[in-house]
Amino acid sequence: MEQQAIRIENLRKTYAATGRQGPKEALKGVDLSIPAGSIFGLLGPNGAGKSTMINILAGLVRKTAGKVTIWGFDQDVNPRQSRAAIGVMPQELNMDPFFSPRAALEMQAGLYGVPARERWTDEILSLVGLTQQAEAYARNLSGGMKRRLLLAKALVHRPQILVLDEPTAGVDIELRSMLWANVRRLNEQGMTIILTTHYLEEAEEMCDEIAIIDRGEVIVRDTTPALLRRMDGKALIVEPEEPPPATISLPAGISMEARPDGTIAFLYRRSETSAGAVLDAIRAAGIQIRDVASEQPGLEEVFVALTSKS
Could you tell me which residues are beta bridge partners of residue 18?
21
Could you tell me which residues are beta bridge partners of residue 13?
27
> How much is the pLDDT for 168?
81
Distance CA 229, CA 227 (A): 5
Q: What is the pLDDT of residues 154-171, one digit of tens each?
A: 999 999 999 999 888 777
Q: What is the pLDDT of residues 204-255, one digit of tens each?
A: 889 999 999 999 999 999 998 888 777 777 888 999 988 887 778 888 889 8
Q: What is the pLDDT of residues 3-44, one digit of tens each?
A: 899 999 999 999 988 877 788 899 999 999 999 999 999 998
Distance CA 50, CA 33 (A): 15
3-state secondary structure of 28: strand
Q: Is the pLDDT of residue 2 over 70?
A: no
> How much is the pLDDT for 1?
46
Q: Is the pLDDT of residue 310 over 90?
A: no
Which has the closest alpha carbon to 227: 243, 245, 207?
207
Which has the closest alpha carbon to 165: 198, 205, 204, 201?
198
Q: Are 264 and 237 in contact (CB under 8 A)?
A: yes
pLDDT band at 142 (very low <50, low <70, confident <90, very high): confident
Cβ contacts of 157 within 8 Å, gap of 6 or more: 84, 87, 108, 109, 112, 114
Q: What is the pLDDT averaged over residues 256-271?
A: 87
The pTM of this model reads 0.79
